[in-house]
Structure 1
Amino acid sequence: MAQWQALLQLDSGLQRQVSQLYEGTFSREIRHYLCHWIEKQNWDLAAVDVNTAISCFHALQEYLEELWKRSVQENKILQGPNFLNMKDSLVKQFQNEPQNLARILSHCLKEEKKILALAPKVQGCNNPGMEQNSAELDNKVSGLKQQTLEVKDEIKTLEDLYEQLDLIQKTWQSRVQQCNGLNQSRAAVEEDCLKRASFITQTKQIVLQQLYDILNHASQVVTTLTDVELPTWKHRQQMACIGSPVDTSLDHLQKWFTIVAEVIVGIREQLQKLQEQNNKYNCTDASSLAATMVEIEKFALSLLTKLLTNALVVEKQPVMQNLPQRPLVLKTGVGFKVKVRYLANHPEFKRRLKPVKPVFDKDVEEAKTVTGFRHFEFERDDKKVLDVEPPGDLIAEFRNMSLKERREKSKASCEGSVSPAGAPGVPASTAAKSRPGVTEELHIIKFVTELEYAGLKCNIEASSLPLVVVSSTAQVASAWASIMWCSMLSTSGSKNLSLFVDPPPLTWEQLAQVLSWQFLSVGQRELDEDQLSMLRDKIVDPDGLVHWSKFSSKNGSPWIWIDGILDLIKKHLVDLWRDGYIMGFVSRERTELLLKPKKPGTFLLRFSETNKDGAISFSWVDHSNGEPHVHAVQPYRKKELLSMSLPDLIYHYILTHQGETRNPLLYLYPDIHIDTAFRRYYKILEVPIPNVSTDGYVGRKNTSVSIIPTPPPSPPTETFMMDIDTDVDTCTDHRQVMEDLFPDLLDSPGQDVLTSTHLYPQLPQDNFALPLGSFEGL
């Protein structure tokens, strides 16, 4: 089987990952129609050898030309793909850079293999027997529908039998008078009527038994839907919220809920028809079958109630528009959106459902019992009608919801909500245990509505997943840690809002998975085993578990460091991370072990262990006096990467020594030539020679300069990354305040501070090279 054909059999979540590989780089249509031919070419060799790349490019054009001619000969120009147009677009895009085409396809084919390797793991997360269970439920639901149609036909047959019997009873005397032997004929007619009535009674009993059997089967399906399938979907959704690449489509559930609801409604309608027949034809067996019909009606009503009260779900969990990858973290005064769907999509229900109303912390016990528990309310009263939206789903979407904190009137209450430990008469130890921190306080939003239909009245509720409400953007990272921790410890349907009063630990396997999902969500690539191994050494306690107090402590926690790196990738390094060019999580000791055996100029990219806001450095190996030495540049931060991308910084990096300048970075680990790895990302290909302009100034160009590096020392293994200089911490704190106050101003590239070789002619020989410099002259 071709690799592409295997990809087509994956679930929608993994197929979206494949689709993202080709966005803006290569035609997915060409990949589809030429899948066999593309997979036979040696694109890895073509990516590093220009002659092979040119040969493959010309062969691809010729193959498209051949396919076009074949479609013309077979008179299938309008039926099939436009191969001539594909060829023209390829020529336009890659005529001058055939090697770029080879690099793209080489990368995409490798990533496809990784996605295929990931497929069993991801589909196992969905449910090991998910496809089999879906097929079984499809068969059961289809069977219920078919049985209901058959019973409907039988009740229609009963109506015909009643009409025939009624006709005979009303007309037999006039017919008998035309014949001799009135008494004999009368006896025969009466006997015939008794036989017909008996047959009708037997048929009715069979129909009632069939209705009861259908409801019994429907009861099993309803239990499966409400107690198994729906909780399983909710758990998948909760994992998807924290980055798991699982399928959260509701199409199957909506189909099953709707059909089963229609079946039960149909059963009640057929019972009503049987009752109408009894009344219309004055059936003598009506009293004997009445109890059975009442029992069936009650059974149907209970099943329908259970199904409909569970049919409302939160399809899209609360999420702020500026934080789409971090749902369930809400900020007071900032708008967020949420979507609910009613799965029993029967036309009658739409007209009978009342508008959906959101209620914050409805029936939450913690709001009454936990000391200092904060209370919130919506800034406006908002209700939404469940309406049919394309492609026919019954949906209510709240697009502009926002929260405000509800302050208590009494001063003591206000103080208690802010700092219960300081409240009079409340011991500090007791208050600390009874009230988690602001970013550890869990809340829910419930969505309520009512349904009145055919004598049935249902109070319907759907609850959001546990969420955290913050008042500052600086609290978002810690709040997200709470959401991840809560999600990993939750089971289907559980909502322990007091979780962080005494948070249970996680196993490393649990945390490793969710951390890997964070990088997949932000950078389209999970963590590998080596990267996870380094993180494990920093996070796991001697007992083999990860404890909440260490993972997300308020200052210097591993999570804040990891979150800074995630933000760095999101803003500046997505392409490099996705393509696997950033080793990232590798200690200095391991860096030396990896680089020393390599040829001079080999380098790797690693994240700084001493910068909690996220920074990246490169280390390279050089040889002097026959001995290998590993050097590291001072890490680049987000502000510096605003001025120049990391590939350009690497390309233009200059090492100066005794008047000589050179770029020591030649091969990305293990042995990829620098241009092969990074050329597609270069934006500044040349640094022009300074020249005198009309205003008398010498032109300049930003570049990255280091002077006489020395090998960096390796820190002790037990030293954690938060051992940062005071100046760095102070600068970070000041910048956080400024970001909250003037985010647009600080994001401006023009605000960057650049060092200059002219301004600092005497540079100390430090363990790190300068992060960023520029040539300036007067």
Structure 2
Amino acid sequence: MAVWIQAQQLQGDALHQMQSLYGQHFPIEVRHYLAQWIEGQLWDSVELENPQDELKAKRLLDSLVQELQRKAEHQVGEDGFLLKIKLGHYASQLKSTYDRCPLELVRCIKHILHSEQRLVQEAVGSGGGGGTMDSLSQRHQQINQTFEELRVSTQETENELRKLQHNQEYFIIQYQENLRIQAQLSSLSAVPAEERTQRETSLQAKRATVEAWLTREANTLQKYRLDLAEKHQKTLGQLRKQQTLILDEELIQWKRRQQLAGNGGPTEGGLDVLQSWCEKLADLIWQNRQQIRRAEHLTQQLPLPGPMEELLTKLNSDITDIISALVTSTFIIEKQPPQVLKTQTKFAATVRLLVGGKLNVHMNPPQVKAVIVSEQQAKALLKNESTRNDSSGEILNNNCVMEYHRTTGTLSAHFRNMSLKRIKRSDRRGAESVTEEKFTVMFESQFSVGGNELVFHVKTLSLPVVVIVHGSQDNNATATVLWDNAFAEPGRVPFIVPDKVLWPQLCEALDMKYKAEMHSARGLCDDNLIFLAQKAFSSASINPEDYRNMTMSWAQFNRESLPGRNFTFWQWFDGVMELMKKHLKPHWNDGAILGFVNKQQAQDMLMSKPNGTFLLRFSDSEIGGITIAWVAENPNKRLVWNLMPYTTKDFSIRSLADRISDLNHLMFLYPDRPKDEVFSKYYTPPLSKAVDGYVKPQIKQVVPEYVYCHPSSGNPTYMDQAPSPSVAHPINFAIFPPIDPMMDADGEFDLEDTMDVARHVEELLRRPMANQWDALTCSIPIYLRELL
């Protein structure tokens, strides 16, 4: 009910927009009296395009009707009697309206709730909650004010046109009277002379009076026509200016927000507001066009000397250009196809005509076709050059009929099951890879307005898409898409983007993407960005302030490998996001993962902390890896130790929280938080008792109590973890008391620990080592070596 309470506090245009959501299809009284019930239902759980969810929708409809009937029954008193009748009527009305199409009811209510929430958010965001500011920005208020001025001027020209028509009709009557007088004068030759003279004098006087009036009235009519044409010119100028503001600024901004949403920016909103503006434009343009055509008809009925015919021809041409620009520009892609498009994989898209409900386009629903074209073909299309109707691939299920949804007033086509069967690539240039090649899905249609009076062929291009044939290409394709979405400029030639950008611009794009992947407001802080800059530019000696003026090229971003590595900067960063998204998102959002810290920084941070303090940082050497660094005491000095990095594969076996729980020597999360306080809510509950006589084994993580350095290599042999590089000499020491991990307190073998050591043996055998067997046997307890 909270949304409804806030919606009732809207003012001005926002309140008007909210009220316009309701009507006979869903009365506002139903929303008011069932506000709490309506907001408590799971409307979003119903998929409108899934016929199987019709049963869910039917249950919601029946429940709504029952709630209305129950509400009606509880009304008492004189006022309650009238409300009881009204609510009962609404219950019957909704039942009869939606009984055969319950999904339409869900569509209607979802549209209403989402629109109300948007209006409330806009009002709060602009300070409209206090009534001092409207829910729209000052600029939007100016647009609405201009619409009011256009409405008034259009009504004025309508009144002037009616007055002109009335005067012209009277003029024609008087002109016919003059012709009748002339006919009478011509017939006087058969009348006797005495009578003829008297009648002729009278008729000539009458004719002179009529002709004088006709002359004056002809001049007046011509002035009326010229004044009307001048007013139409002024109105058309205002319409063109308003349309430019809406299409070339507001709609372009919406498209830009839609593009940034592909990088994780805020989900684009305001399309319903844009549609309302475009529909108002369509109404006003069409009314003025009809007025101009009526003025042309009047001119043809009564030709008068002067430039009127040329003026009306010019006005008609101008108004046709304006409506053509409106219709072709408002054919948009509401839901973009995926920008990384894999062949042989189903994908969806939605196109929408923002003026479809006003020009009666839906009376003859147009068909939309989707084709995929290359960057070169897209350039030719924008230049109106012929592309010989070639496409760069074959899309299955690429035809769809636009449907009109009366409850929302939208005309759209939903492509639900498209699939790219094949792709035809162009010759690549230089170092360009297939994942840098851009295509676009073009949607085209043809429809008429005004009863086939005007026919339009419309096209619209999707955001750039990168076509892949295997999941391994997804990483590099995503880099191309991210760079294009972040740095494309409005009105560009397809699909030109700068080759170099300032580092802060790239930081903004990376932060946006990272927050979207984490579904969190916690993005990349300044320290994180400094770490990334040092990694991207392979330099830790540059002053952090200097990074603000440095530029990064596309090649540095995702074409050239980082020094000493076999992966690019983006591949490393994307690997981090993939790991976090799949397994570590809650821990990042809790602030438990520092992540963007190098090995030396970790050592400096931990050495001043008590033994057992640890932190989590991303691996420098492995894509999608995270390691635990902790400080511990050895017989000679304190050291910082680093476990071998965990990857997605490791966390699919055992979670990070459980692994940290297993390691008793990890006690405090940096700087000083007890680990159980941070991670206990993510621990896996203890195993249940035996079922059907079977005991389920449990995997546990351990760190070997001894680290042995092979004499021949002088380097430590790693088990699950690696000691810090600061350990340079062969040493043999115990980090913890030398208790045999295979024995319990009573000296008996522990089954779980035995299985754990066996698992470590198996993992060790899979790792590349100079002498696996020596490393293995020197790290296994004596009794297990004998068994082997």
With normalisation by structure 1, the TM-score equals 0.63
1:357-756 aligned at under 5 Å gives the runs 357-361=369-373, 364-365=376-377, 376-380=392-396, 382-389=398-405, 391-405=408-422, 433=430, 436-453=432-449, 455-497=453-495, 504-524=499-519, 525-540=522-537, 544-553=550-559, 555-612=566-623, 614-622=624-632, 628-650=638-660, 652-654=661-663, 663-684=664-685, 686=686, 700-708=697-705, 712-713=723-724, 756=756
Shift of 1:709: 7.7
Q: In the TM superposition, what is the alpha-carbon distance from 1:474 to its structure 2 partner? A: 0.7
CA change 1:246–1:694 in 2 (3 A) is closer
Residue deviations 1:269-301 (CA, integer Å, cap 9, x gap): 00122233445xx53537642221111111111
The secondary structure found in structure 2 opposite 1:147 is helix
Pick closer, same or farther for the CA change 1:694–1:457 going to 2, 3 Å. Answer: closer
Gapped regions of structure 2 (runs ≥ 5)? 1-5, 15-35, 40-82, 84-120, 127-135, 182-197, 381-389, 540-546, 708-721, 728-752, 765-773, 781-788
CA distances 1:381-440 after superposition (whole Å, capped 9, x unpaired): 632222223522221121111123367xxxxxxxxx79x7xxxxxxxxxx752x721111
Change (3 A) 1:264 1:541: farther
Task: Read off the aligned partner of 1:549 and give its amino acid letter.
Answer: A
Indicate if the aligned counterparts of 2:642 and 2:724 stay in contact, CA closer than 8 A.
no
Deviations 1:202-235 (A, max 9, x none): 3333222111101111222233344333333333
Contact 1:240 1:248 in 2 (8 A): no
Question: Displacement, 1:261?
Answer: 2.5
Q: What is the match of residue 329 of structure 1?
A: 340
**Alignment-mate amino acid for residue 442 of structure 1:** K
- Measured after TM superposition, the shift of residue 161 of structure 1 is 3.9
1:712-736 C-alpha deviation (Å, 9 max, x unpaired)? 43599xxxxxxxxxxxxxxxxxxxx
Pairing partner for 1:242 from 263, 279, 293? 263
Distance 1:202 1:305, change over 3 A: same
Q: Which amino acid is the alignment partner of residue 700 of structure 2? A: T
**Residue type of the partner of 1:591?**
A
Change (3 A) 1:485 1:624: same
Aligned residue for 1:358, secondary structure, equals strand
How far residue 537 of structure 1 moved from its aligned partner, in angstroms, is 0.9
CA distance in 1 between partners of 2:754 and 2:506 (Å): 39
* Other-structure match for 2:326: 307
Change (3 A) 1:286 1:152: farther
In structure 2, what is the Cα distance between the partners aligned to 1:400 and 1:193?
69
Secondary structure of 1:701's aligned partner: coil
- C-alpha distance in 2 between matches for 1:693 and 1:233: 58
Alpha-carbon offset, residue 626 of structure 1: 10
Contact 1:631 1:709 in 2 (8 A): no
The runs of 5 or more residues in structure 1 that have no matched partner are 13-28, 33-77, 79-114, 121-129, 320-327, 369-373, 408-416, 421-430, 655-662, 717-752, 771-778
**Secondary structure, aligned partner of 1:756:** helix
Letter in 2 for 1:557: T
Once the 2 structures are TM-superposed, how far is the Cα of residue 184 of structure 1 from its aligned partner? 7.7
Give yes or no for the alignment of 1:209 onto 2:230.
yes
Report the equivalent of 2:162: 156
Residues 668, 687 of structure 1: alpha-carbon distance in 2 compared, 3 angstrom cutoff:
farther
Deviation at 1:593, TM superposition (A): 2.2
- How far did 1:244 drift? 2.0
Q: Structure 1's 381 and 666: CA in aligned 2 closer, same or farther, altered over 3 A?
A: closer
Bigger Rg, structure 1 or 2: 2
C-alpha contact 2:499 2:553 (8 A) present in aligned 1: yes
Contact 1:452 1:458 in 2 (8 A): yes
Query: Does the Cα contact within 8 Å between 1:375 and 1:405 map onto a contact in 2?
Result: no
Contact 1:158 1:200 survives alignment (8 Å): yes
Q: How many Å apart are 1:486 and its aligned residue?
A: 2.6
Letter of the structure 2 residue corresponding to residue 538 of structure 1: K
For residue 463 of structure 1, report the CA deviation from its aligned partner.
0.7
Contact 1:238 1:487 in 2 (8 A): yes
> What is the match of residue 67 of structure 1?
none
Q: Deviation at 1:641?
A: 1.8
The code of the aligned residue for 2:662 comes to Y
- Give the whole-Å Cα distance in 2 for the aligned partners of 1:761 and 1:355: 64
Q: Is the Cα–Cα contact under 8 Å of residues 508 and 546 in structure 1 kept in the other structure?
A: yes
C-alpha distance in 1 between matches for 2:638 and 2:408: 64
Taking the TM superposition and a 5 Å limit, the aligned residue runs for 1:184-203 are: 198-203=219-224
Q: Secondary structure at the match of 2:479?
A: helix
- The answer (yes or no) to whether the contact 1:151–1:210 under 8 Å persists in 2 is yes
Deviations 1:430-485 (A, max 9, x none): x752x721111111221122244454343321111221111111111111111122
Does the CA-based 8 Å contact 1:505-1:546 persist in structure 2?
Answer: yes
1:350 aligns with 2:362: yes
Instruction: Provide, for residues 634-665 of structure 1, a one-character-per-residue CA deviation record: whole Å limited to 9, x for no partner.
Output: 33322332233322332x223xxxxxxxx233
CA gap of 1:449–1:629, structure 2 versus 1, over 3 A, is same
CA deviation profile, 1:147-196 (whole Å, cap 9, x unmatched): 2123223323333444555667778999xx9xxx9988877776666666
Partner letter of residue 227 of structure 2?
Answer: I
Contact 1:519 1:526 (C-alpha < 8 Å) held by counterparts = yes
* Map 1:20-169 → 2, pairs under 5 A: 131-163=137-169
- Structure 1 residue corresponding to 2:250, chosen from 224, 229, 245: 229
Contact 2:365 2:403 in 1 (8 A): no
Q: Check conservation: 2:379, 2:493, Cα contact below 8 A.
A: no
Report the CA distance shift for 1:135/1:676 in structure 2 as closer, same or farther (over 3 A).
Answer: farther
Instruction: Give a deviation string over 1:42-69, Cα, whole Å, max 9, x none.
Output: xxxxxxxxxxxxxxxxxxxxxxxxxxxx
> Partners in 1 of 2:706 and 2:205 — Cα distance?
125
Q: Which has the higher contact order (CA 8 A, sep 6+)?
A: 1
What CA distance in whole angstroms lies between the structure 1 residues aligned with 2:681 and 2:756?
28
Inter-partner Cα distance in structure 1 for 2:761 and 2:440: 60
Aligned-residue CA RMSD (Å) = 4.7
> SS of the residue aligned with 1:636?
coil
Decide whether aligned partners of structure 1 residues 464 and 185 sit closer, same or farther in structure 2, where only a CA change above 3 A counts: same
TM-fit CA distance, 1:376: 3.9
Number of residue pairs the alignment of both structures matches: 566
Contact 1:478 1:560 in 2 (8 A): yes
What letter corresponds to residue 505 of structure 2 in structure 1? Q
Residue number in structure 2 paired with 1:283: 302
Cα distance in 2 between the residues matched to 1:307 and 1:698? 71
Change (3 A) 1:759 1:643: closer
Residue of 259, 276, 281 corresponding to 1:255 = 276
* Match 1:296 to one of 306, 315, 324: 315
Distance in 1, Cα, partners of 2:363 & 2:148 = 26
Q: Which moved more, 1:515-524 or 1:754-763?
A: 754-763
Decide whether the 8 Å contact of 1:379 with 1:402 is kept in 2.
yes
Over the matched positions of the two proteins, sequence identity in percent amounts to 27
Q: Tell me by how many angstroms 1:538 deviates.
A: 1.1
Contact 1:588–1:714 under 8 Å retained in 2: no
